[in-house]
A and B are shown apart, each in its own frame.
Chain A
Amino acid sequence: MTLGNNREGTDRAKIIGRRALLLGGGKLALLTTLVGRMYYLQVVEADKYAVLADENRINLRLLPPPRGRILDRNGVPMAINQQNYRVLLVSEETDDINDTLDALSHIIPVNEHDRARILREARRHRSFVPVTVRENLSWEDVSRIEINTPDLPGVEIDVGQSRYYPLEGLGAHLLGYVATPSEADLQNSSDPLLELPGFRIGKAGIEKVYDIALRGKGGTSQVEVNAVGRTIRELKRDDGVPGLDLHLTIDVELQQFAAQRLGEESAAAVVLDIHTGDVLVMASTPSFDPNAFNRGLSSEEWKELIGNPRAPLTNKAIAGQYPPGSTFKLMTALAALESGIVTPDMTVLCTGQMSLGNIIFHCWKKGGHGTMDMENGLKNSCDVYFYEIARRVGFERIAEMARRFGLGSVTGLDLPGERSGTIPDKAWKRATLDQPWHPGETLINSIGQGYVLATPLQLAVMCARVANGGYAVTPHLARDLVDGIHAVPRVTPDWPDLGLSRQNLDVVHRGMFAVVNEPGGTAYRERIKDESMAMAGKSGSAQVRRISMRERETGVKKNDELPWKERDHALFVAFAPVSNPRYACCVTVEHGGGGSSVAAPMCRDILIEVQKRDPQRAAGGDPALKHDFEAWRQARAETEAGHQALAREVDRRFGPGTAAGICGCGGLHVQGSCGA
């Protein structure tokens, strides 16, 4: 080895040593940048990434709250949640979906259409997502599947909830139904529950009005998911608020009774508490089974429902508008009395017809009623008497009175679909028909024909306001006030006073009493014989066809001689018990014939049943409204005696059969010859 070689070696060692130091320094610098990067990611930006990591792994799942039940006033369930058994298939748990479906088809029917859908859905979703095979399984099917589970890999039974209406047709019009939200619902609501697959919201009736409360508040479940979305575990759970159990004012047993009593007719019955506005009965026949909608209707069933002339899908109590007929005479009577133009004692002689201009207006009783005062006019429902007083006070006053009693506008019931009816006047006719008001129309409309239209509910409210002494009670179906998702007990408010004099209301009460309870009254045959339950009412028969001159001469056809569509609507409004009024009832029978012969007996039976179920009916109430029949009857006898004396006096002075009586001016003279 040479020295030069050695020196050369030392030089190279020096170079490599120096360069290795440089290289090592560079490496250290690079490693330091790694530490710096770590510091930046794990300390400086740690919070940001912690949030991102949680967003990655935590999924917020909505928990649908159980929908609140709907109960009647006594707690009888009207709408409940039923367990809906479904068969699901988890494709990752079976080797071959087709084999499993084959095995399953021995237990429940699985047709080719189902199979194609299941295979399609299974392909579209991740393999651990269950696919629905079939819904609404019977309990037998469920148990048979459960027994065969070992042979059915991947098959699971799942319990969902579906709405069930145990009373079926009874109350179907009130309750409405639930369905999956529409596009519009989704746009109008910010409630994320609506986005849940299979979630249903109220689409009609009570289900719709109180949907928010019945729906409750959705809970949330924070679950940890992995990168492909599979749930690993639940981290946090908020159960939300279950839907509110909503009590209605309806008495299901009464409702049942009323519906049965209406029978096959196309009819509606409403019973109100005249003090609180509780709707105890709201029946509309024929009805339908809302559960059928959940099951799915065949097109024949649907056509049958839609095509039925008796309109089973319509709630006639609020959406049926009928001419109120003679029940409207209550309004004409009150308008006349309140105007001061007509006194209760003023009499009108009914000869069976009355002429105005060159038109003749007929009383329903051919041959006439003779001398009629207010009470007799109501009792006999004498058309001529009301023609005359309407002519004197004018229709504007009658219309105004009718509106005060709730006609012509919706009552504000907590149920969608209510119609407002019609109370016409000059302005209305000008606006809608662009025609002037004819004097003859005053007469026709004053007996509830012509343009006047009202719903059965409106007539029940009218009757309730008459019966409760002139207070503007309004009806409601929910027992409690619902505020958001909570129920607050309802306190009966001081209803606005309609400002009528007690004496005038008393006259009308006595007239209604006479209609039912005095011999000769239009509904005397339908009186309630137990005086503690006695009802006072007013019948109405609304003509739906024109009676020609010719027919009038040859004799007006009886209703049972006419085809159904041409028969009169039969109406009856009543309140009971007269001794301490509490309940108002309206029965409307489409094309039923006579109000007193068809609607009155139904109304009577319903009111008897209502009172039977309320043993406390004699207690409470408004002392000022308590009526003393004996005093009424005595007063009535005296008036009758006076009338007879008057009739004799008229016969003596003007000759028998002359249309004369005590006028509003106080004098006794021939009709139409008043000097005052």
Chain B
Amino acid sequence: MSGDKLHFRFSRSEMSLREKLWQISWSYVALISLVCCIGFFTLYSAANGSIDPWADRQMMRFAVGMLVMLGVALVDIRAWMRWSYGLYAMALVLLVAVQLHGSVGMGAQRWIDLGFIQIQPSEIMKIAMVLALARYFHGASYQDVGRPLFLLPPLAMVFLPVGLVLKQPDLGTAMMLTLASGAMFFLVGVRLWKFALLLAVGGGAIPVAWRFMREYQRQRILTFLNPESDPLGAGYHILQSKIALGSGGLFGKGFMLGTQSHLNFLPEKQTDFIFTMLAEEWGMVGGVVLLALYTLILAYGYALSLRSRNQFGRLVGLGLTTTFFLYVFINIAMVMGLVPVVGVPLPLISYGGTAMLTLLFGFGLILSVHIHRDVIIGRRGAAEDI
């Protein structure tokens, strides 16, 4: 059987570099690059028709990110599995460190400045958490997952970093970590009533959480509920964003002709609100086209992940695809006034190096999962089979 033949080949364990490169889903890479190019044009427009100061730097980061992505893709999936707990532990330590020594950006402690590079541990955690959970659930049988005690360690693995991120406070990342982990719990077969139970407990915790929230976070939530109540203050961003979107109409105002963005009514048009600018200039048509490209990337992520013959790969692929989806959904829903403004960038398009690197790293992992889709990994871990 051809399957046996393939199995045999991979049992020899290592693929050559040429084989790996051949296995990379180049159409997936092209799709990602296409979205990034849309980002460059949008940043060019945001700078009033200049590649300086955003588009050029973004291209540099994209180039670096691409190399990182390919490098990550070529690393054996078993190696990633082996490193996953280590990565998670490192991210957790950094999250604690940022609490103690981090510098304050945007009113929150998020960065660690190592001199030559600024590290944002919460970004590392977005990847490390997926890897760690995937490793934990890799060997779990359906019966294991049914046991509540079995679910306690991964729950702790989720809520520890989420708590730390919330303390920074970074509502957006906390939301993404929670939801991405939830999706992974769901994927391994955790029964729905357990989610319902957790939700009920969480709902009961809302008043408690409210008390621990910073004033600006409460304000953001209140403003979200009725942004028009304070059109010059806190609700200004959402209102101006909605005006920009709405006035763009079906076909938009044209490239570089968005009045709201170019006259600076739109805040943070090159970062969190870049979708608004794009949809102002290209209209609903442009917005839907971008959304379709994102959906295509998601679909690819699903297809590539589900073709993996090992649980770890499937979970990593689907978890990271879900993370990517959360970026897309939270950002666009945010600028359209559907969820609070929590500071999640539009993936691959918003100006900013950290998110770009995280995303391309994640795509690299998905590619790695795909390249090493036929590797069979034993229930107890990678070492067993090598």
Contacts and interface: CB of A to CB of B under 8 A. Distances in A.
A528 B335 CA distance: 93
Interface stretch (B56-64, B121-129, B256-264): B256-264
Contacts of B336: 34, 37-38, 41
B242 interface: yes
B246 A227 contact: no
A53 B311 CA distance: 51
B85 interface: no
B333 A34 contact: yes
A48 B259 contact: no
A53 B188 contact: no
Contact of B187 (A23, A38, A228, A232): A23
A11 B332 CA distance: 36
A56 B376 contact: no
Interface stretch (A14-22, A102-110, A268-276, A310-318): A14-22
A359 interface: no
B354 to A, nearest CB: 24
Contacts of B187: 16, 19-20, 23
Interface in A33-52: 33-35, 37-39, 41-43, 45-46, 48-50, 52
A38 B247 contact: no
Interface stretch (B30-38, B70-78, B284-292): B284-292
Nearest to B245: A41
A30 B183 CA distance: 14
A37 B338 contact: yes
Contacts of A52: 243, 246-247
Interface in B306-331: 306, 311, 314-315, 318, 322, 325, 328-329
A224 B141 contact: no
Contacts of A45: 246
A56 B263 contact: yes
A625 interface: no
A31 interface: yes
A42 B265 contact: no
Given A38-B279, A38-B288, A225-B263, A12 B142 contact: yes
A31 B295 contact: yes
B151 interface: no
Contacts of A294: none
Interface in A41-96: 41-43, 45-46, 48-50, 52-54, 56-57
Contacts of B250: 42-43, 46
Interface string B264-298: 11000000000000010001100110010011001
Contacts of B345: none
A9 interface: yes
Contacts of B322: 23, 27
Interface in B222-249: 240, 242-249
Contacts of A228: 264
A48 B245 CA distance: 11
Given A23-B183, A23-B187, A39 B284 contact: yes
Nearest to A39: B284
A227 B287 CA distance: 24
A24 B322 CA distance: 9
B254 interface: no
Nearest to B299: A24
A52 B141 CA distance: 57
A396 B250 CA distance: 87
A23 B359 CA distance: 20
A37 B246 CA distance: 10
Nearest to A11: B142
A99 interface: no
Interface residues of A, number: 44
Nearest to B266: A227
B279 A16 contact: no
A103 B293 CA distance: 61
Given A38-B336, A52-B247, A12 B259 contact: no
B212 interface: no
A16 B188 contact: yes
A644 interface: no
Contact of B246 (A9, A48, A224): A48
Contacts of B338: 33-34, 37
Contacts of B328: 31
B189 interface: yes
A143 B295 CA distance: 67
A225 B260 CA distance: 10
Interface footprint category on B: 35 or more
B306 A20 contact: yes
Interface in B159-210: 183, 186-189
Nearest to B246: A49
A635 interface: no
A54 B250 CA distance: 17
Nearest to B138: A12
B247 A49 contact: yes
A24 B317 CA distance: 13
B302 interface: yes
A7 to B, nearest CB: 11
B379 interface: yes
A187 interface: no
A126 to B, nearest CB: 13
A38 B284 contact: yes
A8 interface: yes
A46 B244 contact: no
B286 to A, nearest CB: 10
Contacts of B283: 42
A35 B291 contact: yes
A19 B189 contact: yes
A45 B243 CA distance: 10
Contact of B263 (A34, A43, A226): A226
Interface string A222-251: 001111100010000000000000000000
A42 B141 contact: no
A53 B244 contact: yes
Contact of A56 (B243, B311, B325, B333): B243
Contacts of A556: none
A43 B249 contact: yes
B333 A50 contact: no
Nearest to B302: A24
Interface string A1-14: 10001001101110
A34 B246 contact: no
Contact of B245 (A16, A42, A225): A42
Contacts of B188: 12, 15-16, 19
Nearest to B295: A31
B259 A224 contact: yes
A27 B298 contact: yes
B287 A17 contact: no
B280 to A, nearest CB: 9
A232 B260 CA distance: 13
B142 A50 contact: no
A202 to B, nearest CB: 39
Given A8-B141, A52-B243, A43 B284 contact: yes
Contacts of B142: 8, 11-12, 15
A23 B192 CA distance: 12
Name the residue in A17, A24, A41, A50 with the highest tally of chain B Cβ atoms < 10 Å from its Cβ: A41
A28 interface: yes
A299 to B, nearest CB: 46
B260 A53 contact: yes
Contact of B291 (A5, A23, A34): A34
7 contacts: A12-B311, A20-B302, A23-B187, A23-B322, A31-B328, A46-B250, A53-B244
Interface of A: 1, 5, 8-9, 11-13, 15-17, 19-20, 22-24, 27-28, 30-31, 33-35, 37-39, 41-43, 45-46, 48-50, 52-54, 56-57, 224-228, 232
Q: Which 4 A-B pairs have the closest CB atoms?
A: A49-B246, A53-B247, A226-B263, A227-B264
Given A22-B186, A24-B302, 15 more contacts: A8-B142, A16-B189, A19-B189, A33-B338, A38-B287, A38-B336, A39-B284, A46-B250, A49-B243, A52-B243, A53-B244, A56-B263, A57-B260, A226-B264, A232-B263
